A and B are shown apart, each in its own frame.
Chain A
Amino acid sequence: MSRAKTKDIRPLELFLNQTVLFLLVGFILIMALVKPSFLAWWNIQNVLIDVSIYGVVACGMTILIISGEFDLSASSQYMWAQILYITLLNSTNNPFLSIILTLGSGFLLGTINGLIVTRFRINSFIVTLGTMTMIRGLCLVFTGGKMVDTQNKFIKALGSAEFLGLSSLFYIYLVVLVIISAMLAYTNFGRRLYATGGNIEVAHLAGINTAFQKTAAFSIMGVLCSIGGIMLVAQLRAGSTQYGTDLALTCVAATVIGGTRLSGGAGNAFRTALGMLVIVVLYKALIYLGLQAYYQNLVKGSVLILVVMFDLFMTRRRTTMKQERS
């Protein structure tokens, strides 16, 4: 209320606003002290590859959550992209045509999700629960539950290519991240997305085609899931329904850790990248410390709950502070 009071809060506010950054730096420092080899170059490379593949999909999840929706089917779409891409690659032997067709299929799947959500006004949790089951079924029927692999030279070269000591996958991620962030921050489409997620009725009254915005967000999500799938193929030269089962909810967790509100209307893709980095560093650290796999899951789940609690706590705090100011 009074000026002095707000001044007192400031350092705390800075900390709370940049918690993710402090958390990340602190975490890396502790790990470096406990196990200096955690900062070895190969480990950093591995962390960045993991961040890149999941991060691409997390960009899409950020857009969707900003527009007030959600996609559970991301994992299944990601599996489908791997399987489709490898099948096309093996049959046509043309990597670029295969990429275009895979991206097209991702676009189509995303658009179908979006159209069902916006036409029938069903909660996106339920719609994508349904499409998740269906696409997973499709993958299993298509492959008979087996792993598929490829020996294509182009994809081998893409996966092992390095520039300045970093994998090519990381640069693909950087390009996607910059494009998505620029779209959110500087285009009309991006601003309309924020408006749609913030208050859909007001956005509608202001003349924004909210159904189009949401459908487009789902389509972008579909394309990004396909890119993620292709990147995984480049790294592993194989695809299976076993890869990426935790993808959708990991991406949601990264988005939330990055500070995007689950209720929609706020957030940004760079912070999601930071959130993804925190998650991957945490997972790697748990493996590095030699924790049993079951304990790793215990920690993962607890961290997820704590993060959401923190997010809710911050939302509440901000609304009360706004009320105090006004």
Chain B
Amino acid sequence: MFGEQGIQYLKANLTKVLRSQGVLLGLVLIIIVASIVEPTFMTVSNILNILRQASAIGIICLGVTFVMMTGGMDLSVGAIVSLCSMVAVVMMNTYGSLPGSTGIVLLAILTVLAIGFAIGVINGLIITAFNGRLGETFIITYGMQIVVASLALLYTGGQFVPGIFAMGLYQQLSMGFVPIICFLSLAAIMHVVLAYTGFGKQISFIGANMDCARMSGIKVSRLRVITYGICGACAGFASIIVTSRVYSASPLQGTGYELEAIAAVVVGGTSQSGGTGGIVNTILGVLVLSVLGNALNVIGVDANAQLLFRGAIIIIAVGLDMWNKMAKQRESTK
């Protein structure tokens, strides 16, 4: 009798672990397979490289997570990265060689954060003015993407801007562990905000049930606007790390970043209908996609065929998540 129960307990726990830690297991699996097929994958320099690459897109994902927690979507982040890259590099080119360049770097970061925040707030204001749901947030931020992307092109008439400023603090931002530390510390702050403060809990509540949140006295519109602002500011900050890395700015820098970011957040397990998920999930999602991309590169799959894997991963991850939820529901009704 006892033995049977014990086996059942183990079984139940095993499926529980498999279900709740599916993404982590996937990540471990990809790493194991990649390092067996191609031993150079597991070198320190390659892993550092993956993490450095992941940190720029990861910072965008942190903001997108906030927006998706409220049951929204932000397609304008890629265009914000493009615009902010242009602004930051042009600013550094103009003033970066003057004395007191540390102050100028900080000023550039602040400007870019402000631009991102402002665009996000405009998104949020339009969306909340009409109480837009997922579909509307999608279309409005898509419109904003077109507008901001064309602003980025107009800024220099579509010209690519090489960096001509003196090497210094700005370059340091993408060297060694700096971008990784930036990403992880920002992630830690946002995790604490989301998981342990009233603000974070209210955001999750909005995503779970917006009408209910409104009835219980939460200032839904104001919180949503702030969330979109945070998302824009994150995209702005990511542009600093990207431009510091490539030492130049292109008006098409951020094209496609928004889809990469959404894919990573969704793979991590933050639900597109809002309310569930979190920063830790997103970090895992970012790692899965960047490790997968790097592993495919190292193994030698060409860029076009990688799209097939990327698309499949998105669908499989969300499908498993949904299947998992349905199974849980069935258990709870039993």
Contact = CB atoms under 8 A, between A and B. Distances in A.
A298 B134 contact: no
B272 A126 contact: yes
A4 B48 CA distance: 73
Interface string B282-326: 000000000000000000001011111011101100110011001
A253 B73 CA distance: 17
B147 A298 contact: yes
A120 B325 CA distance: 10
A49 interface: no
For the residues of B in contact with A, the DSSP-based class is: helix
Q: Which among B126, B134, B139, B140 has the greatest number of chain A C-beta atoms within 10 A?
A: B139
B146 to A, nearest CB: 3
B262 interface: yes
Interface in A224-282: 249, 252-253, 256, 262-263
A127 B310 CA distance: 12
Interface stretch (A39-47, A77-85, A131-139): A131-139
Contacts of B164: none
A134 B311 contact: yes
A298 B151 contact: yes
A126 B312 CA distance: 11
A215 to B, nearest CB: 16
Contact of A305 (B138, B144, B157, B322): B144
Nearest to B321: A122
B154 interface: yes
Contacts of A296: 150
Nearest to B259: A129
Nearest to A297: B150
Contacts of A263: 133, 135
Q: Which among A120, A130, A309 has the greatest number of chain B C-beta atoms within 10 A?
A: A130
B139 A301 contact: no
Given A133-B310, A133-B314, A304-B139, A125 B130 contact: no
A130 B139 contact: no
Contacts of A252: 139
Interface string A275-312: 00000000000000000001111101110110011001
A294 B306 contact: no
Interface in B74-122: none
B273 interface: yes
A125 B154 contact: no
Contacts of B143: 301-302, 304-305, 308
B73 A137 contact: no
A141 B305 contact: yes
A95 B318 CA distance: 40
Interface residues of A, number: 44
B319 A116 contact: yes
17 contacts: A121-B322, A125-B134, A126-B262, A126-B266, A126-B314, A126-B318, A127-B318, A129-B263, A134-B315, A141-B302, A253-B139, A297-B147, A301-B143, A301-B144, A304-B146, A308-B139, A308-B143
Interface of A: 70, 116, 120-123, 125-127, 129-138, 140-141, 144-145, 249, 252-253, 256, 262-263, 294-298, 300-302, 304-305, 308-309, 312-313, 316
Given A133-B314, A263-B135, A316-B131, 15 more contacts: A116-B315, A130-B315, A131-B315, A133-B310, A133-B311, A134-B310, A137-B308, A137-B311, A249-B139, A256-B139, A297-B153, A305-B126, A305-B147, A309-B140, A316-B130
- List 6 tightest A-B contacts by C-beta distance, closest first: A137-B307, A301-B146, A134-B311, A133-B311, A312-B130, A140-B304
Interface of B: 73, 126, 129-136, 138-140, 142-147, 149-151, 153-154, 157-158, 259, 262-263, 266, 272-273, 302, 304-308, 310-312, 314-315, 318-319, 322-323, 326
